[in-house]
Amino acid sequence: MQFKKWIIALPLVVGLLSGCSLLEKLVYRIDIAQGNYVEQEAVDKLRFGMTKQQVQFVMGTPMLVESGYPNTWYYIYLFTHGHEKSVQKNLIVHFDDNGNLTSIDGVFPMSDSFFEKI
């Protein structure tokens, strides 16, 4: 009789514990990188007045260009390392109506030479 209780109780306990966050750390999770990997070195190459083609040559193709706002480009990078929290880095590039670079926003600061001539 005692053996039958263990046969029923053991799978039940293992099943309940498998949903706990304590055991979740034992499961391997791969690192996930999504979007445009942006480095400060590339952002430092951007200059006021650059054309869209020049910016795309330096930074690569943007992750998002909204159809209603074609003069705003979004470079978005999301990285998740295993069980840790995700890290998101954004760079937003603004152009004027002629397609020339006017400003940048996001976690990457403008270089001191941003307003120097190309």
Question: pLDDT per residue over 52-102, tens digit each?
Answer: 999 999 999 999 998 889 999 999 999 999 889 999 999 999 999 999 999
* CATH architecture, domain 26-106: 2-Layer Sandwich (3.30)
Q: How far apart are CA 66 and CA 51, in angstroms?
A: 18
Question: pLDDT per residue over 10-36, tens digit each?
Answer: 777 666 666 655 667 778 889 999 999
Rg over alpha carbons for the chain, rounded to the nearest Å, is 25
Question: Do the strands 72-80 and 32-35 form a parallel or antiparallel pair, or are they unpaired?
Answer: antiparallel
**pTM of the predicted model, to two decimals?**
0.75
The beta strands (E) that lie in 1-118 are given as: 32-35, 64-65, 72-80, 87-95, 101-106
